[in-house]
């Protein structure tokens, strides 16, 4: 067991140490709050990265104090502790890579309050994003972060990865929509961060530090979230273009005018070719790129906003601008975009799916370079995503289990990341580093900054028990 607080996975503790810890947890939390049967524990050893590791036991606390008990016990016994929400993350961040204890937040699932007058919700981390949206929606509000997995994923997971979705282009990510946190640091210290108000600058901003830290610094036990009133009107548009460069020019123009859309999604030519021939696809033959745009607001302002977007989106390469007249037509405009993910899963179930970000002004250049990289490495690359943020889901199709393909896909991926950084982008917009991207972190973050981050980790988690083997490039982190 390392006591340096480095990001290297500590030894998962000798069987005797772990047994003693599990006995202590059963003693203190009660037998129904600790799972030990491997058949039960496997369920908590995976995420959507398809990696898995069996934890020695699963602890299911229902309140903050029980989390303190678990963290302190893991420290005493020098056993790793990995907090998890619903395991829908794609980077292996919730996989207990070093074994030890998996802490599930499924019983920390209470919405403590929805304070309409201050537009605030106070929730435990195990609350499902979709359940919060429904509860807030009944009162005329929503919480902006909207991962596509919202019906399954937890608020704790959203905070752990700073997860967002299409609405981030207008309303921001968890970092812009969270006022404060209650948490337990890796050494067992209880902490409160931020405040209840929308302004506040007392002390360091630990709220934004903990959001996106993937459970490596502290376990969040409560979150004070900023709600937004539901806009009464929503317009959906679909704009098609001959070339990706035409669509990318339109994205920059749309983002440079004041009527900010609430969603601005794109599909490139390779994506469109995947869904051609499907019932949901009614795109003309000369379409080489597509934007789906949503604009929301008061009834009086939506028509004006749509007109401003139409003007900005229009250029010589535009094929068609369509605005949905009702909800049915809106669903049909989205249908082609929604058919894409299942189509990808069928063609390449083990595809590599990255979520890089480039400045919106460099998007066309990036997609063009991806086309060339695909040809050079003989890898089919399909791109779509949140154009308004320059957040592009780059999908390398192939079978990484085939050694030949794996080699080509890895070389291609390294080149993709290189191009992203050269264009002034970042390696992950919303999926996080976890286990999957650790090897590349040093390409983006310079050594001095990385060393400082490790010192921060040591302050929060001196024994290095929290989610070891994640986020930092060091250590073998073998799973």
Ligand X SMILES: Cc1cc2nc3c(=O)[nH]c(=O)nc-3n(C[C@H](O)[C@H](O)[C@H](O)COP(=O)(O)OP(=O)(O)OC[C@H]3O[C@@H](n4cnc5c(N)ncnc54)[C@H](O)[C@@H]3O)c2cc1C
Interface with ligand X (CB under 6 A): 47-48, 82-90, 93-94, 105, 125, 147-149, 153-154, 156-158, 160-161, 163-165, 214-215, 219-220, 430-431, 467
Enumerate long-range contacts of 450-459, CB under 8 Å, 24 or more apart. Answer: 454/5, 454/6, 454/7, 456/209, 456/217, 457/5, 457/6, 457/7, 457/216, 457/217, 458/4, 458/5, 458/6, 459/5
Residues 6+ apart with CB under 8 A from 295: 234, 235, 237, 259, 261, 262, 302, 305, 306, 309
Are 220 and 230 a contacting pair, CB within 8 Å?
no
Q: Which is nearer to ligand X, 88 or 395 (CB)?
A: 88
Which residue lies nearer to ligand X by CB, 145 or 374? 145
- Nearest residue (CB) to ligand X, 152 versus 321: 152
DSSP 433-453: -TTTTHHHHHHHS-HHHHHHH
Residue 102 to residue 94: CA distance in whole angstroms = 9
Shortest spacing between CB 322 and ligand X, in angstroms: 24
Query: Closest separation between CB of residue 311 and ligand X, Å?
Result: 29
Between 47 and 354, CB nearer to ligand X: 47
222 within 8 A of 272, measured Cβ to Cβ: no
Smallest separation, CB 5 to ligand X (Å) = 17
- Helix, strand, coil tally for the chain in percent (to 5): 40, 20, 40
Q: In the complex, what is the shortest distance from the CB of residue 93 to ligand X, in angstroms, rounded to a whole number?
A: 3
Beta bridge partner(s), residue 384: 267, 393
Question: In terms of Cα–Cα distance, which of 208, 191, 189 is closest to 200?
Answer: 208
Least distance CB 35 / ligand X (angstroms): 16
According to DSSP, the β-strands at 218-226 and 178-185 are: antiparallel
Closer residue to ligand X in complex, CB, 82/207: 82
User: Given the complex with ligand X, which of 75 and 149 has the nearer CB atom?
Assistant: 149
Q: Measured from the CB of residue 73, what is the shortest distance to ligand X in angstroms?
A: 18
| Contact yes or no for 227/142 (Cβ under 8 A) | yes
**Residue placing its CB nearer to ligand X in the complex, 85 or 288:** 85
Tell me the closest approach of the beta carbon of residue 304 to ligand X, in angstroms.
29
Smallest distance from the beta carbon of 213 to ligand X, in angstroms? 7
């Amino acid at each position: 067991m390392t006591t340096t607080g480095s990001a290297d996975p500590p030894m998962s503790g000798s069987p005797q140490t772990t047994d003693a810890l599990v006995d202590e947890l059963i003693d203190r939390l009660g037998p129904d709050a600790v799972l030990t049967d491997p058949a039960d524990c496997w369920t908590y050893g995976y995420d959507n990265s398809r990696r898995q590791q069996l934890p020695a036991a699963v602890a299911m606390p229902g309140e903050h104090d029980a989390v303190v008990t678990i963290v302190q016990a893991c420290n005493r016994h020098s056993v790793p502790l990995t907090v998890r929400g619903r395991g829908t993350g794609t980077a292996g961040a919730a996989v207990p890579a070093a074994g030890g204890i998996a802490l599930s937040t499924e019983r920390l699932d209470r919405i403590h309050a929805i304070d309409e007058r201050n537009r605030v919700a106070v929730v435990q981390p195990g609350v499902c994003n979709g359940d919060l949206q429904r509860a807030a929606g009944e009162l005329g509000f929503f919480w902006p972060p909207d991962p596509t997995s919202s019906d399954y994923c937890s608020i704790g997971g959203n905070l752990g990865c700073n997860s967002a979705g299409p609405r981030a282009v207008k309303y921001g990510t968890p970092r812009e929509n969270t006022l404060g946190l209650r948490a337990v640091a890796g050494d067992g210290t209880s902490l409160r961060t931020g405040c209840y108000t929308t302004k506040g600058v007392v002390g360091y901003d630990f709220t934004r530090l903990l959001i996106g830290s993937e459970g490596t610094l502290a376990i969040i036990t409560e979150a004070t979230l900023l709600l937004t009133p539901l806009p009464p009107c929503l317009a959906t548009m679909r704009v098609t273009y001959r070339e990706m460069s035409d669509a990318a020019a339109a994205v920059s123009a749309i983002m440079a005018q004041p009527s900010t859309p609430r969603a601005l999604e794109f599909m490139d030519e390779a994506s469109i070719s995947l869904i051609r021939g499907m019932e949901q696809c009614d795109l003309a033959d000369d379409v080489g790129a597509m934007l789906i745009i949503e604009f929301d607001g008061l009834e009086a302002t939506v028509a004006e906003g749509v007109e401003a977007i139409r003007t900005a989106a229009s250029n010589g390469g535009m094929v068609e601008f369509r605005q949905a007249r009702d909800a049915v037509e809106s669903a049909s405009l989205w249908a082609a975009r929604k058919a894409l993910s299942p189509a990808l899963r069928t063609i390449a179930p083990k595809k590599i799916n990255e979520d890089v970000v480039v400045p919106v002004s460099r998007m066309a250049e990036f997609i063009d370079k991806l086309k060339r990289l695909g040809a050079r490495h003989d890898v089919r690359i399909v791109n779509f995503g949140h154009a308004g943020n320059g957040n592009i889901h780059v999908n390398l199709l192939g079978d990484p289990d085939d050694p030949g393909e794996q080699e080509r896909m890895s070389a291609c991926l390294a080149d993709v990341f290189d191009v992203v950084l050269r264009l002034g982008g970042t390696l992950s917009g919303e999926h996080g580093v976890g286990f999957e991207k650790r090897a590349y972190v040093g390409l983006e973050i310079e050594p001095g900054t990385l060393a400082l981050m490790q010192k921060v980790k040591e302050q929060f988690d001196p024994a290095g028990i929290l989610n070891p083997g994640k986020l930092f490039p060091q250590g073998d982190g073998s799973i």
